Amino acid sequence: MEWFIIVLALGVAIGPILYLMPSDRDRYITGLRALARKLGYTVQLDKVPKLDPSSDERVTAGGGLRQPALACARYQLPLGVTLNNLMPITLLRIPAQATVPVERLGANWGVLAAAPAQQRALAHWRTHAPAAADLVAVLSQLPDDVLAVQFEKRFIAGFWAEQSPAATAGKNQSIALFWPRSKPKSAQTLAEFPRLQLLDTGMRQVLNAVKKHWGVSA
């Protein structure tokens, strides 16, 4: 009986500590964003409209309309110049089965049909066929979990879900508390974050394409 009480007491004491310990996913995201900032990105939490919501997601229990959104992180990169000829737009990655009306720029990117300002911006981009074609080509180089790309006169921003096949979302096992593994060296290079490397390469290709067609040579 005494041993049962001791084990129960240890469980009560250790449980909250285990819950608060960072997961592999937490450590991965921390290192990812720290390195991105060193590369010149501003990183903050954000969200983008969900283009394939179910009927249940679009209507509340009381019959009100909802606007489902996907949580992500905004990776913003300065252009280094002001492109006054560039009409701001946010292009959304269109899923295979979109359930809300969209207008496309290429096969996989577009804007909400219910957003008049975005519709005007899309029409403006379509009148510049070489710029639109180059943009669609470089957007295909971005990771498949980049949900949207925003273009402004002074910056571009990628809305990224930050997926990582190697990082799990589960908490550390209890054995790590009693016999902790040596702390791994913090990743400092793009080679240690291949998906960030892919994002950075794609974003800089997008940046150069935008400068090329909207007033500044790459």
One-letter amino acid at 109 equals: W
Residues in Cβ contact with 117 at an 8 Å cutoff, skipping those fewer than 6 apart: none
Q: What is the DSSP letter of 40?
A: T
Give CA angle at 28 (23, 31), nearest 5°.
130
pLDDT of amino acid 1? 62
Token pair 């720029």 is found at 105
Of 35, 33, 42, the closest CA to residue 154 belongs to 42
pLDDT of amino acid 50? 95
Of 80, 89, 102, 81, the closest CA to residue 132 belongs to 89
pLDDT of amino acid 177? 42
Give CA angle at 161 (76, 133), nearest 5°.
65
pTM value is 0.80
pLDDT of amino acid 164? 73
Other Cβ atoms less than 10 A from the Cβ of 122: the count is 21
pLDDT of amino acid 77? 97
Per-residue pLDDT in tens (0 to 9) along the chain, 218 residues: 665 565 555 555 554 544 445 677 788 899 999 999 999 999 999 999 999 998 888 777 666 677 899 999 999 999 999 999 999 999 999 999 999 999 999 899 999 999 999 999 999 999 999 999 999 999 999 999 999 999 999 999 999 999 876 644 444 444 344 444 444 455 578 888 999 999 999 999 999 999 999 976 44
Residue 4, H or E segment: helix 2-20
> In whole angstroms, what is the distance from residue 79 CA to residue 216 CA?
10
Q: List the structure tokens of 172.
A: 């550390």
